[in-house]
A and B are shown apart, each in its own frame.
Chain A
Amino acid sequence: MRGPGRWAVLFALVVLAVVMVFPFAIVAVNAVKSPAEYSSQGPLSLPDGLYLQGIVDFWNRVEFGTKLWNSFVISASVAVFAVVLSVLNAYALGIGRVKGRLSILVLFLVANTLPQEALAYPLYYLAKAVGLYDTRLSVIIVMTVIQAAFGTYLLSAVLGQFPKEILEAAAIDGAGRLRSLWRIVVPISRPTLNVLLIFFFIWTWNEFFLPLIFLISNDTQTVPVALGVLQGEKYMDATMSSASALLGVVPAIAFFLIFQRTLTRGVTVGAIK
């Protein structure tokens, strides 16, 4: 195709891209309108000015700062702990090649594909029994194990290809296993570990089902849970709803922009194992 044909293809793809991005734009536009402006102009007009009261009101009403902090604490803890566990497991499975490693890997893989619904009620019950219900720690523990199951699976494959000569040289120099892990394996695998760290952080941030079940009070809820639960509340008028949507969208886009390069590299690492 030459001439007008190629522009037609480009045009079609651009139209689709606009459709994909449109919801983000219209949420942003309407989050900065006053309720009066919204009711007279509707959702499609451009805002007359910056009216931030809707966002401020919503922020204060749901104590959004607390929600952000909860999400951050939970996601960051899970990311760090899950990477640590994944590295320890993968060290034993990928490099140590312990007996029965295939069955252990399959076990981790099955754990990762199990629907959380099949664990949810017992976890809820057990969390209540040990006094962890409605604490951030409960979600941190459970999500760490679920993420580490995937991380182990991925990282074992990566460490399976680790050059043995380096480790043997270190052993001859008298380095113990723990020292080899910390001084050699971890630094050399740093790029993969970074990808995992970022993925675990974002996946945990986006998690909805388990946090919804464990976190019921205002002080412990995460951003997606708070927004999901408030949807459809009586006081949520049109502009406040769009303000709430915008506040949910902004952190996600911020992560996307900050981690874009690692993410696009990582999506493919995760897919082709």
Chain B
Amino acid sequence: MRVRTRGYWPYLVPSLLLFVAVIVVPFLMNVGASFTRWSGVGTPRWIGLDNYARLMEDERFWQSFQHNVGLIVAMAVVPTAIGLVLAACLFDYIGKRFGPRTASALRAMYYLPQVLPVAVAGVVWGWMLHPSYGAVNQILGLDLDWLGDPDLALATVMAVMVWFQLGYPVVIFMAGLQRVDPAYYEAAEIDGASWWRKFWHITIPQIRPEIFVVLLTCTIAALKVFGPIFVLTRGGPSNATMVPSYFSYLNFFQKSNVGYGSAVATVLALIIVVVTFLFLRVQERES
């Protein structure tokens, strides 16, 4: 038993080697590149913090983070809020009055968009929202360029993301509700509490861990969002839907500003790590 734990190290070796090659080294290279001017070929030229100084003054960079806030609302806040109400309705109302099969059929329908590759979801909506032949204009009897109008594009992308994301919190919250002790509800019913009171005072506090997980994972997903922007708008029109991930992609692969793109990506990575850390801290304090 003495050498017991040392004997397990060999099992970690393959992963640690791959991990260094695929994550650690590339990440350090990215941080390194962010201090240089580099087109991707030739020798990078060291320019210190110039890229970061330039970021601070780049309007497109700040705009892209504002758009990220909108996407956090669309991908984390709104789906969590609607998801809570839906999960509670399905669980203790539909499930009890119309049977669990009705509840799980509805849940499956809400979850369906989540199974799509997000790029394919973008293809579906790109077609539905097409200004000349799209179904959405036909149904609403409108003639709007949903994704081509700078005033509308971000709101449209946000709506698509609510549709895409909604099923995830519903499924997680319904699973969480299963471990809530029915005695709480029974006691509340004897006291004559209304559905909303029970929802607010029992359901939400009881599934707080699930709410945290959903908010955290969806916020991170919103900060990273790339696929839907690439497929639906490519950051346009006139940067109306530009997000940091697409902005760095643009600098890497289209403008050959690798150094600048690396700085954007580094800042994004930093923000995500900080957000994760803050969430975990708050969660720890709560429990």
Which residues of chain A have a CB within 8 Å of any CB of chain B? 1, 6, 9-10, 13-14, 16-17, 20-21, 23-24, 26-27, 30, 38, 42-44, 85, 88-89, 91-93, 95-99, 104, 107-108, 110-111, 113-126, 141-142, 144-146, 148-149, 152, 177, 181, 202, 205-209, 212-213, 223-225, 227-228, 231-232, 238, 241-242, 244-245, 248-249, 252-253, 255-256, 260, 264, 267-268, 271-272
Contacts and interface: CB of A to CB of B under 8 A. Distances in A.
Contacts of B19: 107-108, 111, 145, 149
B11 A117 contact: no
B8 A249 contact: no
Q: Lowest 9 A-B CB distances belong to which pairs?
A: A96-B8, A248-B120, A122-B26, A122-B29, A206-B117, A268-B175, A228-B119, A17-B109, A208-B227
A253 B30 contact: no
B94 interface: yes
Given A99-B5, A120-B252, A238-B133, A20 B89 contact: no
Contacts of A124: 252
Interface in B127-178: 127-128, 130, 133-135, 138-139, 163, 166-168, 171-172, 175-176
12 contacts: A1-B195, A17-B109, A23-B124, A24-B124, A96-B8, A98-B12, A107-B19, A117-B224, A117-B264, A121-B30, A121-B262, A238-B127
The main secondary structure of chain A at its interface with chain B is helix
A253 B109 CA distance: 11
Contacts of B15: 85, 88-89, 145, 148, 152
Given A238-B130, A272-B210, 5 more contacts: A125-B40, A208-B117, A227-B119, A228-B122, A248-B124
B110 to A, nearest CB: 6
B100 to A, nearest CB: 13
Given A43-B135, A144-B18, A23 B128 contact: yes
Nearest to A85: B15
A127 B143 CA distance: 46
A89, A120, A152, A207: residue with the most chain B Cβ atoms closer than 10 Å:
A120
Nearest to B8: A96
Secondary structure call for the B interface: helix
Nearest to A1: B195
Contacts of A227: 119-120, 123
Contacts of B166: 20
The size bracket of the interface on B is 35 or more
A200 to B, nearest CB: 15
B116 to A, nearest CB: 5
A10, A115, A228, A271, most chain B CB atoms within 10 A: A115
Contact of A145 (B22, B33, B217): B22
A20 B163 contact: yes
Given A208-B226, A241-B126, A245-B127, A89 B18 contact: no
Contacts of A113: 220, 272-273, 276
B254 to A, nearest CB: 12
Nearest to B93: A9
A9 B94 contact: yes
A255 B115 contact: yes
| Residue from the set A43, A111, A125, A260 with the largest chain B CB neighbour count within 10 Å | A43
A26 B119 contact: no
Nearest to A117: B265
B12 A212 contact: no
Contact of A119 (B4, B26, B102, B272): B26
A6 B231 contact: no
Given A23-B124, A110-B273, A113-B273, A224 B119 contact: yes
A119 B29 CA distance: 8
Given A245-B127, A253-B115, A98 B23 contact: no
Interface in B214-253: 214, 217, 220, 223-224, 226-227, 230-231, 244-245, 248-249, 252-253
B231 A231 contact: yes
Contact of A245 (B8, B124, B223, B276): B124
